[in-house]
Structure 1
Amino acid sequence: MTAAKLTLVIAVAVLLLAAGPSPADDAFHYPSWAGGPYDATYTEWWYFNLFDARSGVQAIFSYFVTNPADLHGAGRVQLAAVAYTTQGRVSEVDAYPAAAFAASGQQADVTIGDSSVKVAEDGSYRVAGASRDGRLVWDLTYAPQAEPWFAGDRVAVGSQPWEAMSWLVFMPRALVTGRLVVDGHAYAIDAPGYHDHNWGEWIPFDALWNWAQFSDERLALEMGDFIGRPAGGVSVDFGGRRTVFLKGQYWLLHTRWALDGKNGVWYPTESLLVAGDDSRWLWVTIRALGTEPLRGDLPLPLPDLIIYEQTARYDGWLWEKNPQGQWVRSSPLRGNGFKEYTARHL
Structure 2
Amino acid sequence: MHDLTSQPIMMIDSSPPLLHHYGELTRLPPQIPTLECNDLPSGAVVMKEYCQLPLIDLSCLNSTNERERLACAEAICRASSEWGFFQVVNHGISPELVRNMRREQFELFQTPFDKKATCGVLNNSYRWGTPTATCPRQFSWSEAFHIPLSRVSEQACYGEFSSLREVMMEFAAAMSKLARVLAGVLAENLGHPRGVFDNICQEINCFLRLNRYPACPISSEIFGLVPHTDSDFLTILSQDEVGGLQLMKDSKWVAVNPNQDALIVNIGDLFQAWSNDVYKSVQHKVVANGKMERYSIAYFLCPSYDSLIGSCMEPSIYREFTFGEYRSQIQEDIKRTGRKIGLPRFLL
- Place the TM-score, normalised by the shorter chain, in its bin: under 0.3
Q: TM-score w.r.t. structure 1 length?
A: 0.26
Q: Which has the higher contact order (CA 8 A, sep 6+)?
A: 2
Q: TM-score w.r.t. structure 2 length?
A: 0.26
Answer 1 or 2: which has greater helix percent.
2
